[in-house]
Structure 1
Amino acid sequence: MRLEKKKQQTTNDLINMKKNTLHKTNLGHSAFRRLAQACMSILLLLAFTTYTFSQERTVRGVVTSATDQNPLPGVTVRAKGTNSMTATDSEGRFSINASEGEVLEVSFIGYAPQEINIGTRTSIQVVLQTDTRSMDEVVVVGYGSLRKSEITAASTNIKAEDFRQSGARNAMDLLQGKVAGLQITRSGSNPNTGVALQLRGATSIAGSNSPLVVIDGIPGGNLDLLQQADIESINVLKDGSAAAIYGTQANGGVILVTTKKGAPGKTRFDYAGYVSRDFVQRQPDFMTAEEYRQKIAEGVIAPNNDFGDNVNAFDQLINQNNTSQYHTLAVSGGGENNNFRASAYFRDLQGIARENGRTEYGVRANFNGKGLNDRLTTQVDFATNLNNANLLGGGGWEWAYTRNPTLPLKNEDGTWYYEQTTTNEVARLAEEHNRRQQQTTTLAGTAGYEVIPDLKVNVFGSVQRNAWVDGAYASLASEPSMENSVGALGRAYQSSRLEMKYAFEPTISYNRVLDDIHSINAVVGYSYRYEVNQNFDATNYGFQNDVFEENNLGAGDQLIAGRAGMGSYKNDNKIIGFLGRINYSYDGKYTFQGIYRRDGSTRFGENNKWGNFGSIGVAWHMTSEDFMQNIRFLNDLKVRANYGVTGNQEIGNYMSLVTLGTGNNYIYPDGAWRQTYGPTRNPNPNLRWETKHEYNVGVDFMMLNGRLGGAIDAYRRITKDLLGTYTSQQPPFIRDNIFTNVGQISSNGLEITLNAVPVRNEKVTWTVDLIGSTNRNRMDSFSDDTYKVSYRDFSSIGGFGALGTAIRVFEGSRLGDFYGKRFAGFTEDGRWLFYKRDGSAVPFDQINDSRTDLENTDLAVIGNAIPKYHLSLNSTVSYKNFDFRVFFRGRFDYDILNTTQISYGNQIALPNNLLNEAFTRHGELNDTYMYSDYYLESGSHVKLDEMTLGYTFKLNNEKIRNFRIYVTGTNLALFTKYTGVDPDYVNDTGIGSENTNPLGIDGRGLYPNTRSFLFGVNIGF
């Protein structure tokens, strides 16, 4: 191994000047911080000013049953729009702090909820009626809302009190394990990465498999703008019948997010905050310096590989001071005609990795008004988020695992120790930076006017702006400067991106009940969406000093030399739609729903710009029938059936058009060199939507006076006209491939949700939620009369040995099948043995490992990367002022390819550092790298995902409405046979075409999984 020592170059005077003047002041960051501090100050000032007008007092009462006039213990009494709540004692009595004119919400399982305006009273009596329509809450659906009893589709509504308490980094984390059929995968604990979402399995090869997210009516709403404390509820529309109202955007389902709004009453303030800390849970077992030297002593590693140091490279990349914090303050109030809610927050997220985190500031506000005798309604929503992200850290884990632990990090003179066979990640963190400054803003408004009773016209519009600037710089002393091919010191990069989204959606709605038995709810509308994205980036080398970093790209001398790079682009797309929905319910027993939407998109060919989508659904509320009245244990039973068609247009822009790209430079007769352009894509005027046809039958039930409830759904999906790239003949085509519609995927699934209340009395309430789902999919076809393909390969393995892809999908087979060699053992000298088709075990050179000769190959399907079963269990116990929640979830019956074992469990990689298992578990192996079922492991696991203990103080204080503290632990325990870091971080969504996170591949340098502990406080005043 050849080693080179390279001296650091310093320009102390200039660097000191830089520290006092330019980038270290971080003007953008300072401006963001001042804005957030100003918003917080204003809200705090309002809070303490309003204190002087507070007139809270204690309201006492008793709750009884209308059936037998007996007192009801354990009834929840809440001040509407607040977190102030209590429960009745064994005699049905309660007391709560409330203000004059405030509304109390009284609810109890098996009884109809009530809202009571206390006026000037300090004592009230509440009589609850038995709830024969306990599933009749109002739920937000596409372009409106419906009573739950009128919904004919499969949907799950999650309220704020049911969210996880783990300090979610992404709003979708709140749904983890809460919705049957919803898969949420995160590739690690990196605070700068998002989540992968998938409902009911994969439905597309080239298009998106993610559900559409709609935030307060804004399609494609930005998740960065959502904070847990601002969310009122999340409704997940799972089947094609529910999602059809969104047409081409809803192939993967729809997630509707509703944020909290203001309410009439006195001004209220709510604070929520937490601090948290992460700890590494599991890491691969690579050799320490002591173990490495032991292998040298045993003669396994040559003596000249001991360089005298003792370095734990993994620990060098860990941020030991990774405390994160979050604070938000909300103010709400108003009168009967006008109300508001505004919140401001600060969040500092620190990853377990060094130089890896983000700081966020944000404001959200909404204003609601009524006028013209309540016929006119208006709503304005505004949200903005400013964040500074440190993107430098979070990688380099493979270097940390495999680096010789005896190599030093620095030379004796203090300069960084660089070598040609591996990088120095610690030096990279010190000598480089990679930062992002981002601002995301949304402004939306709705105006509604009741033209005549029951007929209302609404106009909705929104604008979303998402802009960021990335800046990266490698100093003169960095490794890229020392070893780049350009031969110039210093490397600077800067890019800027702007995304704009516009939506305009007028609708007309009609809601009427005729003769108390005929209920009609209808809406028709028009939808217009336009998106435009533009980007610019530039890179340069050869800087005289590090003073300006990336803020003076022109100072690099490689611009003149022609080695600097730059690029830019701009693209857009437009969707226009016409929509309608009608719901008819007869006597609360029978419900019919019909939806139709016609969409046009610029993304598709001129012969198929428009597509038609729709659904029909029926529901039978059986417990409303006379013959069911004597079945007293059954409170509610509804049977549903529906069919819906949705589309998928989530592909790149201009895929149906000929696009031009730059070619080579050529010299012209005048002696000048000029850029050439040529076509990069074949046109396809027939390119059209993928269409998903979905059938769903389901049952919603509640029994034993609300002690047991839930839903069961069975579905079948067929996605036709799959989008994908196929080989095209030249001529007549210009290029050798074309993006077109070929093939079909089908899937079947079952989902079960059970909600139980085993214990509920004046002191103890115990609730249990069990959610399970299973899905099995099939690739029906890849081919048609024009394009013939019998299989496709996915999921590149990477690493050593050029091992190709791991997953092959044949026509008629399951998605996610691992395809490769079948391990049969080792020869006496450690060579691989594999099975042939006839079952005999032979060395590798005697098998047919052809991936194209399907008639004779010895390769076979050896596993599957998609879990068959998902299960979660949530148990919550409340005792007096204490609450305790435990949340388990798991995935079962699937496989993971452990590429860490492939690359670093083989002694052929010495003298690099290796897993200790290379000498134990894989000790027999004395051969090259191979992909086979030898490295496939079961991914089945159960995780203790969250545990929360909380305490709510019951204060007889006019100023403080509620005060709760809690501690939460996340990712506390993992039960699995998988030997990798965490099977939960391995992607099990999509079909394997993702380049950054392929299906079923664990990767060799995944961000560490962490165990987190959090302390939080909620205060209402």
Structure 2
Amino acid sequence: WKVGQRSVPLMLFLLLCSNIIIAQTKVEGVVSDISGLPLPGVTVSVVGGKNVVTTDIDGQYSIDAPATGTLSYSFMGFITQNVAIGGRSKISLSLKESVEDLNEVVVIGYGTQKRSDITSAISSVRAKDIENLRQVSVDQMLQGKAAGVTVTNNSGQPGSNVSVKIRGISSLGGSNEPLYVVDGVPISGDATSRSTSGKPLVGNDFSESSTQTGNSSVSPIAFLNPNDIESMDILKDASATAIYGSRGANGVVIITTKSGKKGIGKFSYDVSYSIQQQSNLIDVLDLQGYARLQNGLMEAFFPGRDKDPKFASPELLGKGTNWQKEIYRVAGMKSHQLSFSGGTEGVNYYVSGGYVDQEGTVIGSDYKKYTFRTNVDAKVKPWLKIGAYINAGITNENITLNGSQNGIVSTSLLATPDVVVRNPDGTFAGPPPNDGAIYFTNPIAAALSNTNELVRKNFSGNFFSEVKLLKGLEYRFEIGGYAEFTKTKEFRPKVNWGQAGNPLASLTSRTGENYSLNIKNLLTYKTDIGKHNIYVMAGQEANESNWEGLSVTGVGFFDNELPELPVAGELQKVEPGFAYNGRQTLYSVFGKLIYDFDNRYSISASMRGDSSSKFAEGNKWGYFPAVSGSWKLSSESFMENVTAITNIK
């Protein structure tokens, strides 16, 4: 056959294409972490090429690449690896975590900064540091995780608050709890603050009506799901907290929740079950020892009188009732956590839901929590980014009696071992007539008969927009809020437990609610001029809080089965309750300057002014300046040969 002039270019083109096709190969594999768990969303790309894929939910990928080319594997929080293909069709590998990258950026208050450049005392707790902890509240997870932070459990009651002290005790009469900033929304750590809890100042157990049922104080951030936490940055010294003004006196805990990342959607389901129990019991006398004690007291104080017949022969008695063993139990806690996250071009999302059911180690106490969160951000224009962080939580607590006089634990130590828990007919027992122990109430009966329930509904959200005005100049607007609704129900039925009991049934019902609105305007400017690095921030913030509550008590119910105020019997009397309400505002302006020269010398200065409605005209403003500096010795030439030290300042 004859080759025409037009056939030659065509044949050359087909020959070239065949060479290209021969040179291409399909590479498949699995990407995992060092523990062998698959990593979804890892970006796999051809170095110098355009082919880019991401691993699926099982960490698997498939990509067309030159047989002699190189593949790059990158993922947030892990060290990027480049691997030569070498004609292989199967390549699987494990990525190592990059601790330096995870710790590089720290939230410093209205901004971020490289950890190596920080001139203040700031500790950070990351998600990986707390992912294996089984706690129902975020503040409990700080225990033992940050230097200089003391966390103390105030009660064993599930859902109760803990004391977090960052700068020691700064006030003998006021609160020593830090300020929490959750995704930009400030929340006071004081569990008795009206503006935080919606409860009265005299104890947030509504002790002004004091039925001795004693609601334990609850954590102001109990509505958060610990599984949603990305990081917690603790600002500890004055130079770090001054930017938060009067509210930062006890330190600041900045909580950042998780956000979605670009890549294939990632679904996660975590289920767990754990148990807890009282580790130690206080040594008390058993029935034989108690009988000998009673006989000895009778001989010492009433010589010649006959012994109590039931204690006449202690050696014939059994162990009696150990009330501590009766009130404590092995308590279980189950948790179900769901989340879905991912991102597309310009839009990232994170959605989660959680359920926790925790029994208390003391009978009659338990805690249930339901949470929902959605975090979304979108880059709608090259110069405009918007986003929202929304959280909802519902908690339901059954709380045991914990007053100092009739608390379950204290009563179990006062109760005598000669009294049984229940009578032969199944009713609760108590001190017999003429026993001389009328003050003793059967703690089991009290725990299982009384109702002491607290329901809280929390909602929080923050919406923001970021605008790039000029190179290095950005404006950010935020509007956020927090709302809480509480309802407590304390019912003490009409009962007769031996000498002890309650002749009149009573019901105390309380409601409370509070709202907080926060608006921020921030203007930031960053620039590098040669060896000079400059960061300037100016901002304005306005906060308003409102709260109100009501308490009513009814006494004299005929029927223990209908503990509702509208159906009280004729003998009912409604005791005067109390109502409260209030409002406070805080207006602030602030600014910050960070200057760094040649990555060696750094200085940071900030100023904040707060105007509070708590103070009279002419005395509303308070000012909080701060200055700090550092010298990074590790960047000096005389430290170049000191390999044992990588960063010192």
TM bucket normalised to smaller: 0.7 to 0.9
CA distance in 2, matches of 1:342, 1:399: 46
Residue 538 of structure 1 corresponds to 552
| Structure 1 residues 537 and 436, CA gap change in structure 2 (3 angstroms) | same
| Structure 1 residues 134 and 333, CA gap change in structure 2 (3 angstroms) | closer
Query: Which letter maps to 1:626?
Result: S
Deviations 1:241-298 (A, max 9, x none): 0111100100011111111100111010112221111122111101111221233455
Say which SS state the counterpart of residue 162 (structure 1) adopts.
helix
Residue 58 of structure 1 corresponds to 29
Residue 203 of structure 1 corresponds to 170
Residue 475 of structure 2 corresponds to 457
Residue 258 of structure 1 corresponds to 256
Query: Which letter maps to 2:511?
Result: S
The one of 383, 386, 391 equivalent to 1:383 is 391
TM-score by length of 1: 0.50
Deviations 1:215-241 (A, max 9, x none): 111111741122222111111111010
The one of 443, 447, 457 equivalent to 1:429 is 447
Residue 513 of structure 1 corresponds to 528
Say which SS state the counterpart of residue 401 (structure 1) adopts.
helix
Deviation of residue 412 (structure 1)? 5.1
| Structure 1 residues 100 and 431, CA gap change in structure 2 (3 angstroms) | same
2:327 maps to 1:314: no
- The higher-RCO structure (CA 8 Å, 6+ apart) is 1
Query: Which letter maps to 2:288?
Result: E
Deviation of residue 477 (structure 1)? 2.4
2:365 maps to 1:356: yes
Residue 104 of structure 1 corresponds to 74
2:507 maps to 1:497: no
Deviations 1:671-695 (A, max 9, x none): xxxxxxxxxxxxxxxxxxxxxxxxx
Residue 378 of structure 2 corresponds to 369
Residue 217 of structure 2 corresponds to none
The one of 344, 353, 358 equivalent to 1:344 is 353
1:578, 1:598 within 8 Å by CA — same for their partners in 2?
A: yes
CA distance in 1, matches of 2:612, 2:358: 39
2:283 maps to 1:285: yes
| Structure 1 residues 473 and 60, CA gap change in structure 2 (3 angstroms) | closer
Deviation of residue 453 (structure 1)? 1.6
| Structure 1 residues 264 and 421, CA gap change in structure 2 (3 angstroms) | same
Deviations 1:883-917 (A, max 9, x none): xxxxxxxxxxxxxxxxxxxxxxxxxxxxxxxxxxx
2:477, 2:522 within 8 Å by CA — same for their partners in 1?
A: yes
Query: Which letter maps to 2:590?
Result: L
Residue 192 of structure 1 corresponds to 159
Deviation of residue 56 (structure 1)? 12
2:414, 2:440 within 8 Å by CA — same for their partners in 1?
A: no
| Structure 1 residues 315 and 444, CA gap change in structure 2 (3 angstroms) | same
Deviation of residue 606 (structure 1)? 2.9
Deviation of residue 441 (structure 1)? 1.0
CA distance in 2, matches of 1:439, 1:290: 51
1:540, 1:556 within 8 Å by CA — same for their partners in 2?
A: no
Query: Which letter maps to 2:641?
Result: N
Residue 3 of structure 2 corresponds to none
The one of 629, 634, 641 equivalent to 1:618 is 629
CA distance in 1, matches of 2:535, 2:170: 31
CA distance in 2, matches of 1:616, 1:317: 55
Deviates more, 1:539-548 or 1:592-601: 539-548
CA distance in 2, matches of 1:482, 1:251: 48
Deviations 1:105-145 (A, max 9, x none): 4879xxxx5488999x97599999x99x9897111110011
What are the within-5 Å matches in structure 2 for residues 869-908 of structure 1? none
Say which SS state the counterpart of residue 282 (structure 1) adopts.
coil
Say which SS state the counterpart of residue 248 (structure 1) adopts.
helix
Residue 606 of structure 2 corresponds to 595
Residue 293 of structure 2 corresponds to 295
| Structure 1 residues 81 and 423, CA gap change in structure 2 (3 angstroms) | farther
2:140 maps to 1:169: no
2:482, 2:516 within 8 Å by CA — same for their partners in 1?
A: yes
Note the residue ranges of structure 2 that are not aligned, 5 or more in a row: 1-25, 43-57, 64-71, 189-219, 300-305, 312-316, 432-437
Residue 274 of structure 1 corresponds to 272
2:224, 2:371 within 8 Å by CA — same for their partners in 1?
A: no
Aligned length: 544
CA distance in 2, matches of 1:459, 1:167: 36
| Structure 1 residues 148 and 387, CA gap change in structure 2 (3 angstroms) | same
1:77, 1:106 within 8 Å by CA — same for their partners in 2?
A: no
What are the within-5 Å matches in structure 2 for residues 839-858 of structure 1? none
CA distance in 1, matches of 2:352, 2:245: 34
2:348 maps to 1:335: no
What are the within-5 Å matches in structure 2 for residues 762-777 of structure 1? none
What are the within-5 Å matches in structure 2 for residues 785-864 of structure 1? none
Deviations 1:548-590 (A, max 9, x none): 21x234624455x5x5232111012111100111111111111
1:576, 1:601 within 8 Å by CA — same for their partners in 2?
A: yes
2:364, 2:400 within 8 Å by CA — same for their partners in 1?
A: yes
Query: Which letter maps to 2:487?
Result: V
TM-score by length of 2: 0.77
Say which SS state the counterpart of residue 638 (structure 2) adopts.
helix
Query: Which letter maps to 2:513?
Result: L
Identity across the alignment (%): 23
CA distance in 2, matches of 1:126, 1:290: 66
| Structure 1 residues 413 and 528, CA gap change in structure 2 (3 angstroms) | same
Deviations 1:364-383 (A, max 9, x none): 1101100212x111111111
What are the within-5 Å matches in structure 2 for residues 723-742 of structure 1? none
2:29, 2:92 within 8 Å by CA — same for their partners in 1?
A: no
2:77, 2:102 within 8 Å by CA — same for their partners in 1?
A: no
What are the within-5 Å matches in structure 2 for residues 402-481 of structure 1? 402-411=414-423, 414-419=426-431, 420-477=438-495
Query: Which letter maps to 2:222?
Result: D
1:214, 1:254 within 8 Å by CA — same for their partners in 2?
A: yes
Deviation of residue 432 (structure 1)? 1.6
Deviation of residue 103 (structure 1)? 6.2
CA distance in 2, matches of 1:201, 1:526: 30
Deviations 1:68-122 (A, max 9, x none): xxxxx9899994879xxxxxxxxxxxxx9345799624879xxxx5488999x97
Say which SS state the counterpart of residue 634 (structure 1) adopts.
coil
Note the residue ranges of structure 1 that are not aligned, 5 or more in a row: 1-54, 62-72, 83-95, 639-1021
Deviation of residue 602 (structure 1)? 1.2
1:492, 1:540 within 8 Å by CA — same for their partners in 2?
A: yes
1:357, 1:391 within 8 Å by CA — same for their partners in 2?
A: yes
| Structure 1 residues 241 and 280, CA gap change in structure 2 (3 angstroms) | same
1:107, 1:114 within 8 Å by CA — same for their partners in 2?
A: no
Residue 668 of structure 1 corresponds to none
Query: Which letter maps to 1:634?
Result: I
Aligned-residue CA RMSD (Å)? 3.5
| Structure 1 residues 299 and 151, CA gap change in structure 2 (3 angstroms) | closer
The one of 569, 579, 591 equivalent to 1:580 is 591
The one of 107, 110, 124 equivalent to 1:140 is 107
Deviations 1:143-188 (A, max 9, x none): 0111112211011112111227330132122221221211110034
CA distance in 2, matches of 1:259, 1:169: 16
| Structure 1 residues 499 and 619, CA gap change in structure 2 (3 angstroms) | same
The one of 408, 430, 446 equivalent to 1:396 is 408
CA distance in 2, matches of 1:594, 1:100: 51
Deviation of residue 481 (structure 1)? 12
CA distance in 1, matches of 2:344, 2:161: 39
| Structure 1 residues 386 and 198, CA gap change in structure 2 (3 angstroms) | same
